[in-house]
Each structure stands twice: as structure tokens, then as C-alpha cells.
Amino acid sequence: MAKKVAGTLKLQVPAGQANPSPPVGPALGQRGINIMEFCKAFNAKTQELEPGAPCPTIITYYQDKSFSMDIKTPPASYFLKKAAKLKSGANNPNRETVGSVTTKQLKEIAEAKMKDLNANDVDAAMKIILGSAKSMGIEVKG
């Protein structure tokens, strides 16, 4: 018999750095999820990723207090800021540019995000990432 789903929870946790302190601890605790079990499982699954990279995580928790998690790739904005060596995007993205990335870097980001994007091929994924770059005030150079 399948487990009964009690609900889902979305968190953005730094890779390899899940700990019981806020915001992770309270969010899990109030839903009756074992916090230390989650932290150990999350850190084990994200150890191959760059430490500190924000990982959107969807946690499905069940009535028997067990859970499953789906860890997504870090957001495109994280990869774009890293590639352009920026701290943040532009305040007025359509009027000012704060940095630039090459088409090669754009392709690498698209390939890294491919499994989480709604795209059939790398070219379509590159267009999605290009839109994110433009909305951050980052220009793409040939």
C-alpha cells in the first residue's frame, strides 16, 4: 500500500550545508519531519555539488513522518553571477549592464541546468538562460 502524502515543502538550502538552524529546522520541525535525518541525507546527496550553491529542494512528507526529497540544480541566476563574477544583478536591467558572459559560458550553464529546464535541446535551453541573463542586466558576447 502506498504511503499517504501529508504535504510538500519547498526550501532553498546551500549545498552540503544543511543544519538544524533556521530556516531549515523550524520549517521541518513544525511538519514533524526528522530534522537531523533530513540534514544528513541532504548533505550526502549534495556533496558532489559546489559547497554553498543554493539548491531548490522539494520535500514530500508523509503521514508516517517519513519524507522524500527532489533536489534541483542551482538557479540560473547563481550560475550567471558566478560566470560574470558579480555579486548581484543590475538595479535597472533594461537600462544598465553590470557584466557579460560568453556564448560558451551560456552553453555550459544551459547544459548544467538541462534536466530542470522545460527545453528539448541545448539551443532552446540557451534561449531560456539568455532571457535570465538579460533580465539581470548581463549581456552575452559572441
Q: List phi, psi (to 5°) of 81.
A: -65, -40
pLDDT at 2: 67
H/E segment holding residue 15: none
- Which pTM does this prediction carry? 0.72
Copy the grid coordinates of residue 81.
Answer: 553571477
pLDDT at 1: 52
Walk me through the domains of the chain, giving residue ranges and CATH numbers: 5-71 (3.30.1550.10), 76-141 (1.10.10.250)
Mean pLDDT by 10 residues, the chain (142 residues): 78 81 80 82 82 84 83 83 76 75 82 79 83 80 74
